[in-house]
Amino acid sequence: MKRVLSGIQPTGDLHLGNYFGMMSRMIKYQKENDLFCFIVNYHALTTIQDKKLLAENTLNAAIDFMALGLDPDRSTFWIQSDVPQVCESTWLLSNIVNVGALDRATSYKDKLAKGLTANVGLYSYPILMASDILLFGGEIVPVGKDQKQHIEITRDIAFRFNQTYGETFIVPEPDIEKTNQLVPGIDGQKMSKSYGNTIPIFGDEKSVRKKFMSIVTDSTDIDKPKSIDTALFQLYALFLSDNEKEELANRFKTPGMRYGDIKQELYDCFWAQFSPYREKRDYLEKHKYHVIQKLNEGSQKATIIADSFLDKARTAMGLNYGENNV
């Protein structure tokens, strides 16, 4: 049984990009794998300085995940900051990381280009991500296409550490979905909270429908074929089987199709798929103590694994100075 590990930032309402990019795969993985899943609130500190907002987002992300099918009794589910050993391991790993590797991180450059303030936390994000993975023995890491470089950095760090200090960490393998690698937002860019182009999973009916009807389209005449290389087609395709995708593509290529009709169909499809989860979310929202209890149980299990790998790393680096000297 492989250990599958991944996390998600609590930076606001979870959206379709989160779900199709990582969440749905993680929920499926728990059936046949040793699933480790966590809410990465340390990472969120790079963009959120409001303590109340961060606390609310953290618990809401956990509630959303459990409502969508994550079973904390079949997996290890916790909040990142409840296992602070990851901070010590981040420092240990930072001492074998070349600055050049961080300079080449495209995610950092992209976030700066989008107006985010440069800080050391944002710059060293890949090291904390590596620590998240290596400290818990992650073997398979489901990530979006945009995180592929960070997994490569993690693998390089594991190789370098093992070569320098001896076999200590497992070298993880990325699991990048072959299709739907990047989920487009309503403006056609990657769906991201920082771009303000998301479609929330649990938003109210009126506001969510408005989001769908705002998906950007071109000005092609109704009597002309439509391009399938658009956010509208790509979002609709997320909900369809291969045969249904072909049928949709044919509709786009056939003159007479109205974008407004497709947007309404897509909204109806979305609402039908996620409506059953709303009742469970309402229940968990009213019973937060149950969610917190499960998170505490998960952090206790995660701590046992983290302590084991951290102790190996400390011994390998010479920090456990009392060993063999007493």
Catalytic residue list: 111, 190, 193
User: What is the C-alpha to C-alpha distance for residues 206 and 267, in angstroms, rounded to an integer?
Assistant: 11
Could you tell me which of 50, 9, 63 has the C-alpha nearest to residue 293?
Answer: 63
Q: DSSP labels for 156-209?
A: HHHHHHHHHH-S-S---EEE--SSS-S-B-TTSSBP-GGGT---BSS--HHHHH
Token pair, residue 301, equals 């299990």
Residue 272 to residue 265: CA distance in whole angstroms: 11
Phi, psi angle pair for 184, to nearest 5°: -75, 150
Q: Where are the alpha helices (DSSP H) in the chain?
A: 16-18, 24-29, 41-44, 51-67, 85-94, 99-103, 106-113, 120-123, 125-134, 148-165, 205-213, 231-237, 242-253, 259-286, 288-317
How is residue 21 annotated by DSSP? I
CA distance 4 to 142: 8
Q: How many CB atoms lie within 10 A of CB 39?
A: 26
**Token pair of 235, please?**
């979002």
Q: How buried is 177 (Cβ within 10 angstroms: 0-12 exposed, 13-18 middle, 19+ buried)?
A: middle
Q: Is 262 helix (H, G, I), strand (E, B) or coil?
A: helix
Cα 125 from Cα 128, distance rounded (Å): 5
- Please tell me the distance from the alpha carbon of residue 249 to that of residue 238, in angstroms, as a whole number: 13
